[in-house]
Amino acid sequence: MVLEPKKSTPKKTMQGLTEVHTSMGFVEAEVIKSYLESNGIKCVFKGTGAQSIMPQTTDGMGQIKVYVLDEDAELAEELLKKLNPAE
Protein backbone atom coordinates (compact mmCIF):
# COMPACT_ATOMS: atom_id res chain seq x y z
CA MET A 1 0.00 0.00 0.00
CA VAL A 2 1.34 3.42 -0.93
CA LEU A 3 0.28 6.32 1.24
CA GLU A 4 0.09 9.78 -0.25
CA PRO A 5 2.49 12.33 1.26
CA LYS A 6 0.87 14.29 4.07
CA LYS A 7 1.33 17.90 5.01
CA SER A 8 3.97 18.42 7.69
CA THR A 9 1.56 20.10 10.13
CA PRO A 10 -1.53 18.16 11.25
CA LYS A 11 -4.83 20.03 10.95
CA LYS A 12 -6.69 20.61 14.20
CA THR A 13 -10.44 21.02 14.38
CA MET A 14 -12.66 22.79 16.87
CA GLN A 15 -13.90 19.47 18.30
CA GLY A 16 -10.55 18.42 19.76
CA LEU A 17 -9.65 16.26 16.77
CA THR A 18 -6.59 16.31 14.52
CA GLU A 19 -6.48 15.20 10.90
CA VAL A 20 -3.67 12.66 10.54
CA HIS A 21 -4.28 11.24 7.08
CA THR A 22 -6.22 11.79 3.87
CA SER A 23 -7.01 8.53 2.11
CA MET A 24 -7.91 8.11 -1.51
CA GLY A 25 -10.82 5.79 -0.83
CA PHE A 26 -12.83 3.91 1.75
CA VAL A 27 -10.72 0.73 1.69
CA GLU A 28 -7.50 2.63 2.45
CA ALA A 29 -9.26 4.59 5.20
CA GLU A 30 -10.48 1.34 6.78
CA VAL A 31 -6.95 -0.10 6.71
CA ILE A 32 -5.59 3.04 8.40
CA LYS A 33 -8.39 2.95 10.98
CA SER A 34 -7.81 -0.74 11.73
CA TYR A 35 -4.05 -0.17 12.11
CA LEU A 36 -4.46 2.81 14.44
CA GLU A 37 -7.19 1.18 16.52
CA SER A 38 -5.07 -1.97 16.92
CA ASN A 39 -2.53 0.37 18.51
CA GLY A 40 -5.13 1.87 20.89
CA ILE A 41 -6.02 5.02 18.90
CA LYS A 42 -9.67 5.64 18.09
CA CYS A 43 -10.44 7.25 14.71
CA VAL A 44 -13.28 8.96 12.92
CA PHE A 45 -13.73 9.68 9.21
CA LYS A 46 -14.94 12.69 7.32
CA GLY A 47 -15.61 12.19 3.62
CA THR A 48 -15.88 14.72 0.83
CA GLY A 49 -18.06 12.61 -1.44
CA ALA A 50 -20.56 9.81 -1.49
CA GLN A 51 -18.35 6.76 -0.99
CA SER A 52 -21.14 4.32 -1.80
CA ILE A 53 -21.61 5.95 -5.22
CA MET A 54 -17.96 6.76 -5.94
CA PRO A 55 -15.70 4.46 -3.90
CA GLN A 56 -12.50 5.78 -5.51
CA THR A 57 -11.04 9.27 -5.69
CA THR A 58 -11.44 11.42 -8.79
CA ASP A 59 -10.18 15.00 -8.58
CA GLY A 60 -10.45 14.90 -4.80
CA MET A 61 -13.98 13.52 -4.72
CA GLY A 62 -14.14 10.43 -2.56
CA GLN A 63 -11.32 11.47 -0.27
CA ILE A 64 -11.71 10.42 3.34
CA LYS A 65 -9.93 12.32 6.09
CA VAL A 66 -8.91 10.34 9.17
CA TYR A 67 -9.11 12.18 12.51
CA VAL A 68 -7.87 11.20 15.96
CA LEU A 69 -8.09 12.91 19.35
CA ASP A 70 -5.59 15.76 19.72
CA GLU A 71 -3.73 13.92 22.47
CA ASP A 72 -3.28 10.86 20.19
CA ALA A 73 -2.14 12.80 17.11
CA GLU A 74 1.60 12.58 17.71
CA LEU A 75 1.53 8.81 18.27
CA ALA A 76 -0.75 8.35 15.24
CA GLU A 77 1.70 10.32 13.07
CA GLU A 78 4.58 8.11 14.23
CA LEU A 79 2.61 4.93 13.54
CA LEU A 80 1.61 6.12 10.07
CA LYS A 81 5.24 6.93 9.25
CA LYS A 82 6.06 3.28 9.95
CA LEU A 83 3.60 2.31 7.20
CA ASN A 84 5.42 4.56 4.73
CA PRO A 85 9.00 5.08 5.94
CA ALA A 86 9.99 6.98 2.76
CA GLU A 87 8.27 10.15 4.02
Name which residue leads in pLDDT, 50 or 30. Answer: 30
Indicate the SS3 state at residue 11.
Answer: strand
Mean pLDDT of 12-39: 88
pLDDT in tens, 51-60: 555 555 455 5
pLDDT in tens, 12-23: 666 899 999 998
Is the domain covering 20-83 a CATH 3.30.70.260 domain? no
What pLDDT does 57 receive?
A: 47
**Are the C-beta atoms of residues 43 and 3 closer than 8 Å to each other?**
no
> What pTM was computed for the model?
0.72
Q: Assign 67 a pLDDT band (cuts: 50, 70, 90).
A: very high
In Å, what is the CA distance from 56 to each residue of 25, 49, 59, 61, 73? 5, 10, 10, 8, 26
- Domain ranges for the chain: 20-83
Residue 79: which H helix or E strand, with range?
A: helix 73-83
**Are the C-beta atoms of residues 26 and 53 closer than 8 Å to each other?**
no
